[in-house]
Structure 1
Amino acid sequence: MALGILEDNKMAHVPGTSLLEDKVLDDELGTTSIPEEAASHLKHATGKNSHIILIPQPSDDPNDPLNWSLLHRDLLFAVHGLGYIMNVGVCGPLLSAGTLDLATDLNVTITDVAFLTGYQLLAIGATGPIVSALSRIYGKRPQFIAASLFGVLGTLVCCVATKYSTLLAGRILQGFGNVAYESIVVSVIGDLYCLHERGLRLAVFNFCFGGVNLFTSVIAGPITTNLGWRWLFYIDIIFVTLQAFLIIFCATETVFVRDAKYEIDVAGEEVFDDIEKLGSAQYVENKDEATKVEKQQPIIPPKKTYWQMIKPYHGRISTENPLRLLVRPFAVVLNPAVAWIVLAMAIPLAWIVNINYCIAQLYGVAPYNLTAERLGFISAGPLIGGFIASLFFFVINNPMTLWICRKNNRVFEPEFKLPVGSLLGAFCLTIGCFGFGNAYRGRKSPIVAAVLFGFVCAGSTTMAITASNYMIDAYRDLSVEIIVASMSIKNFIFFGFSYFFNNWVTNSGPDVVFDVLGAIAVFTTLILTIPLYIFGKRIRSWWHRVQLLKRLKLA
């Protein structure tokens, strides 16, 4: 048993289990990894990380993203990060602080204003599986270009909207622009970075995912109060257009199909058997004899030019059936670990959106009577909470991983990242959810609400980082499908809540509503994590051995 994780007795090498640092392991401990002789022939990081094996292994092709310079990869990641911020982080909560202003100006109800976000999220959830399938077949670059162009078009429609129906149409078009950035952008981290490089980038992304989007309300509130809600879109169109330009001319394709022998983090025994035979000669073993196989030097293609790299379309990369790919995001949830990832990412973030739905309803009327500007300032709390959570994981993620691995004889298990994230996430969500509704009932200051909202965001960010870390480390080959499943389920939840949440808060009171949400959050983030930590390695082994997607004819 590795620090409470049950060992698997079916496979010698379980996908996701990796040797993070070179060391001959004591077989009596029951741990499994790459032997020292094989590890010496694998590619390592450079500089102070020269002892760390690169997981996955870069190929010899100069067009492999893992062979690009770290600066190149970080700039590419920054372009996609800007795409996420502008098309998801800004677009989604853009109208929340000005809910009452919009309702008055357009002569509609608060629920109608919630639909402006609800239908946008419905469009994202419904088209997410389509984008996932297209990214598997044609690569991610065409999806990002199309998303950016839809973002520009939708924002233009919102700019010229003079009535509710036109504004709703523009928001739905913006939703189509959100899909790629919300569904497949996190998998770009798995495309661009090795295992030891992902922690920082995931923390940065998840800060954008759970914190920066709330900064939108801080800015949007004063703009709505002083200039009017239409100016939100007049300003936004400048930035979404700039982002579209960058995605077209700077963001190259990140999908790269490597030979299975390089994918040592998702590989099973069949690939590890080959790795163990690396050396001056390779041997193919059978029951009776060992036959020497001559090495063949692979043909290495030349490095692509800039214009070749920024082509919108690089050809079909998969011959898989599109209809099967449409179903895959929902089929992967049959894996209990994937089901946990989906819930851990979707539920806490859904509760943030629920708070956004009702802030104006609670604090924009008597006895508080806050303007859109002051309502926006309440979102400063979650912005700070998300930043602190992201900073915490930025500081401790890699050192914690290395420390735990040394305690486990240099063997990395993806489950090692679950306890700290789960405990911290549940703690923050408990304080935030249970406190927010009861603070309103006790007529506490809006500053208290902002602080408690910050705890909710810190918990959501923590769980997003923890779940996405686990996803990429344990099921990197399924990361697109997992994110799409999470995104679709989350957005369907959002859309459903937009129908009744404001009325629920009015009829039952925010204390009752957020007590219920807090209980659900604790069950999801803490109670369900315990069996996953214990049985996670066996679940990974089961998933690889059973090949459920193949049995369902989905792979």
Structure 2
Amino acid sequence: MRLHTLHDLDKTEGTVQLRHAADPSSSATTLVLFPPPSATDPNDPLRWPRWKKHTAFLSVCAFTFLTNYGIGGLAPAFYILSQEFDRSMAQTSDLLLWPILVLGAFNFLWVPLANYFGKRPVFVFCSGLLCACFLWGAVARSFESLLWSNIVAAFAGSSTEALGASIVNDLYFLHERGAKMGLYMNFISGGNTVGPLVCGLVITGLSWRWHKWIAVIFTAINFVTVLLFVPETRYYRDANEDRVDGERREGVLSSSTEHVEAQTEPKKTATVSETVEEEQSPPSTVPKKTWIRELSLWSGVAPDTNLLKMFIRPLPMFAYPCVIYAFLGYAVSLVLTVSVNILNPFVLQAPPYNWSPMINGLINLPGFIGNVAGSFAGGWLVDVFCDWRTRRNSGVFEPENRLYLGVLPLVITGTGCLLFGYGVEKTLHWTSLFFGYGMVSFALTAVPTITMAYVSDCVLPVNSDALMLVNGEAPFGCSSFSVMYMADLLQV
């Protein structure tokens, strides 16, 4: 029961032969499916029908969207809540800062539990608990009760932070990973943009409690979809086959530096691919699970391990450069967006703007547009760029290709920070704040999409552990920066 090194589990380090030439004299190439799906087991999530994959994935995406919708979406009501409960600006911001901290911290609980017992029981329990917490918040009669309802809701919603990203790797192939990760990140950030937009309209016509009631309705529906349409996606692949494939790919990479062998290598890869296709043709040797059986919350425990080992296993990855890089990128992009979310109600609902919460909520329109643009650039566009680089590299995919387009959020969001900050300082026209916030929001989806897909490529066998560290550390950094930021504001 010893701990294995990552090299024991996967010798490729994410560098794989993703394309091969069917004819050496032709420029046309054929895509290789990686990871290779099981040839004999129809229960392999990679072999599920497309509709089944998409339904399960979108149900989890809706779960994470509603978490942020119900908690972060309350931001336009902060000014009203501070008056209703007689709380200061800093105290009211606790409704967002503490849940963000909890969202990160309890990744360290849910991911080991899911690795050991399975993802499905975690998702089902937490989606039900989230609905109950929003119901609690809707009927809360004190500030402390509302705060604790948000904190416990964040405890439940934290289950989707890393596991939601991990499920992308369970259901989809490498060439689909960037686009799906971008879609997932758009659902996360969408809760923090669509939520405040809806909340601003709701509290103007009704009250902030109706924002919570709407969240209760949709989380109840989502609980049903998770219960019925999200089977267990944890799957154990043959380690020996993976190791052989890794050694074969290492042979490809070591010989690709020579021009002559680079021309002959696609023939070898084509032979391997044809062999895989032939192995998929025999009838399945494992019975396909029925829908009723897939509804079971129990799928067994992880073999040859124990729960304590699952909690200890991720800790060495704190020192992995790819994990550190992804955490820092996510934390910085998150703190910028959270800071603007906390600040804008106190700027736009106070003199000289004097906006109502409904009008204030409209600032989330450019935020939403920025999120969508960021997820597109960090997801689909990066996939296209990586495919172009792979074709130019004799069909060899390298995870580092994803990082080149990180220059886009660096330039766009950096400019947006200057525009928004200068606009607040000089009380410029509201359009400057809107454009600035839209540009700031670009990084919230672009940076995590790029970096988390990169981490998944590099450490695929333990991607859920690595993503747990990224999603767990980022909110800690965000909360720390935000607390210091609020302290500086109060001194101004």
With normalisation by structure 1, the TM-score equals 0.77
Shift of residue 215, structure 1, vs aligned partner: 1.4
The equivalent residue for 1:221 is 200
1:411-430 matches, cutoff 5 A: 411-420=396-405, 422-430=406-414
The equivalent residue for 2:442 is 458
Residues 260 and 267 in structure 1, CA contact (< 8 A), matched pair in contact too: no
**Corresponding residue to 1:486 among 454, 470, 476:** 470
Query: Residues 280 and 69 (structure 1 numbering): CA distance in 2 closer, same or farther, change over 3 Å?
Result: closer
Residues 69 and 192 in structure 2, CA contact (< 8 A), matched pair in contact too: yes
The equivalent residue for 1:405 is 390
The equivalent residue for 2:264 is none
Shift of residue 171, structure 1, vs aligned partner: 1.1
Residue deviations 1:126-172 (CA, integer Å, cap 9, x gap): 32111111011011111111210110111111111111121122112
Q: Which letter does structure 2 place at the counterpart of 1:323?
A: L
Query: Residues 124 and 280 (structure 1 numbering): CA distance in 2 closer, same or farther, change over 3 Å?
Result: closer
1:278-317 matches, cutoff 5 A: 300-317=285-302
Shift of residue 51, structure 1, vs aligned partner: 1.6
**Corresponding residue to 2:174 among 178, 188, 195:** 195
**Corresponding residue to 2:43 among 42, 45, 63:** 63
The equivalent residue for 2:19 is 21
Residues 25 and 409 in structure 1, CA contact (< 8 A), matched pair in contact too: no
Residues 378 and 450 in structure 2, CA contact (< 8 A), matched pair in contact too: no
**Corresponding residue to 1:359 among 316, 340, 344:** 344
Query: Residues 376 and 25 (structure 1 numbering): CA distance in 2 closer, same or farther, change over 3 Å?
Result: same
Q: Which letter does structure 1 place at the counterpart of 2:199?
A: A
Q: 1:392, 1:118 → 2: CA distance?
A: 28
Shift of residue 187, structure 1, vs aligned partner: 0.6
Q: Which moves more between the two structures, 370-379 or 128-137?
A: 370-379
The equivalent residue for 2:423 is 439
Query: Residues 395 and 154 (structure 1 numbering): CA distance in 2 closer, same or farther, change over 3 Å?
Result: closer
The equivalent residue for 1:376 is 361
Shift of residue 443, structure 1, vs aligned partner: 1.5
Q: 1:473, 1:92 → 2: CA distance?
A: 31
Residues 55 and 263 in structure 1, CA contact (< 8 A), matched pair in contact too: no
Query: Residues 340 and 499 (structure 1 numbering): CA distance in 2 closer, same or farther, change over 3 Å?
Result: closer
Residues 222 and 373 in structure 1, CA contact (< 8 A), matched pair in contact too: yes
**Corresponding residue to 2:247 among 269, 277, 281:** 269
> Cα RMSD between the aligned structures?
2.9
Indicate the percent of aligned positions where both proteins have the same amino acid.
Answer: 24
Q: Which letter does structure 2 place at the counterpart of 1:84?
A: T
The equivalent residue for 1:170 is 149
Count of residue pairs the alignment pairs up: 458
The equivalent residue for 1:84 is 64
Query: Residues 233 and 346 (structure 1 numbering): CA distance in 2 closer, same or farther, change over 3 Å?
Result: same
**Corresponding residue to 1:118 among 91, 94, 97:** 97
1:125-136 matches, cutoff 5 A: 125-136=104-115
Query: Residues 468 and 57 (structure 1 numbering): CA distance in 2 closer, same or farther, change over 3 Å?
Result: same
Query: Residues 267 and 144 (structure 1 numbering): CA distance in 2 closer, same or farther, change over 3 Å?
Result: farther
Residue deviations 1:202-241 (CA, integer Å, cap 9, x gap): 2211222334531111111111122111111111100000
1:239 lines up with 2:218 in the alignment: yes
Q: 1:90, 1:318 → 2: CA distance?
A: 37
Unaligned stretches of 5+ in structure 1?
1-11, 27-48, 282-296, 509-555
Q: Which letter does structure 1 place at the counterpart of 2:370?
A: G
Q: 1:388, 1:338 → 2: CA distance?
A: 24
Query: Residues 327 and 438 (structure 1 numbering): CA distance in 2 closer, same or farther, change over 3 Å?
Result: farther
The equivalent residue for 2:308 is 323
Q: Which letter does structure 1 place at the counterpart of 2:453?
A: N
Q: 2:339, 2:439 → 1: CA distance?
A: 15
Residues 413 and 440 in structure 2, CA contact (< 8 A), matched pair in contact too: yes
Residue deviations 1:333-363 (CA, integer Å, cap 9, x gap): 2111221112122221122112111112222
Q: Which has the higher helix share?
A: 2
Query: Residues 262 and 349 (structure 1 numbering): CA distance in 2 closer, same or farther, change over 3 Å?
Result: farther
The equivalent residue for 2:486 is 502
1:208 lines up with 2:187 in the alignment: yes
Residues 124 and 488 in structure 1, CA contact (< 8 A), matched pair in contact too: yes
Shift of residue 395, structure 1, vs aligned partner: 5.0
Q: Which moves more between the two structures, 340-349 or 182-191?
A: 340-349
1:388 lines up with 2:361 in the alignment: no
Q: Which moves more between the two structures, 89-98 or 268-277?
A: 268-277
Q: Which letter does structure 1 place at the counterpart of 2:20?
A: D
Q: Which letter does structure 2 place at the counterpart of 1:373?
A: M
Shift of residue 397, structure 1, vs aligned partner: 3.4
Shift of residue 50, structure 1, vs aligned partner: 8.7
Query: Residues 426 and 192 (structure 1 numbering): CA distance in 2 closer, same or farther, change over 3 Å?
Result: same
Residues 16 and 398 in structure 2, CA contact (< 8 A), matched pair in contact too: yes
Q: Secondary structure at the match of 1:307?
A: helix
Residues 126 and 159 in structure 2, CA contact (< 8 A), matched pair in contact too: yes
Residue deviations 1:51-80 (CA, integer Å, cap 9, x gap): 211100001200001111122211211111
Unaligned stretches of 5+ in structure 2?
1-9, 253-267, 276-281
Residues 11 and 247 in structure 2, CA contact (< 8 A), matched pair in contact too: yes
Residue deviations 1:312-341 (CA, integer Å, cap 9, x gap): 121112443333332444421211122111
Residues 119 and 233 in structure 2, CA contact (< 8 A), matched pair in contact too: yes
Q: Secondary structure at the match of 2:236?
A: coil
Residues 378 and 447 in structure 1, CA contact (< 8 A), matched pair in contact too: no
1:512-527 matches, cutoff 5 A: none
Q: Which moves more between the two structures, 186-195 or 171-180?
A: 171-180
Q: 1:219, 1:329 → 2: CA distance?
A: 38
The equivalent residue for 1:284 is none
Query: Residues 255 and 380 (structure 1 numbering): CA distance in 2 closer, same or farther, change over 3 Å?
Result: same
Q: Which letter does structure 1 place at the counterpart of 2:477?
A: I
Q: Which letter does structure 1 place at the counterpart of 2:143?
A: Y
Query: Residues 447 and 100 (structure 1 numbering): CA distance in 2 closer, same or farther, change over 3 Å?
Result: same
Query: Residues 433 and 318 (structure 1 numbering): CA distance in 2 closer, same or farther, change over 3 Å?
Result: farther
Residue deviations 1:103-144 (CA, integer Å, cap 9, x gap): 111111222211122222233233211111101101111111
Q: 2:167, 2:11 → 1: CA distance?
A: 26
Shift of residue 413, structure 1, vs aligned partner: 0.4
Q: 2:483, 2:387 → 1: CA distance?
A: 47
Query: Residues 227 and 301 (structure 1 numbering): CA distance in 2 closer, same or farther, change over 3 Å?
Result: same
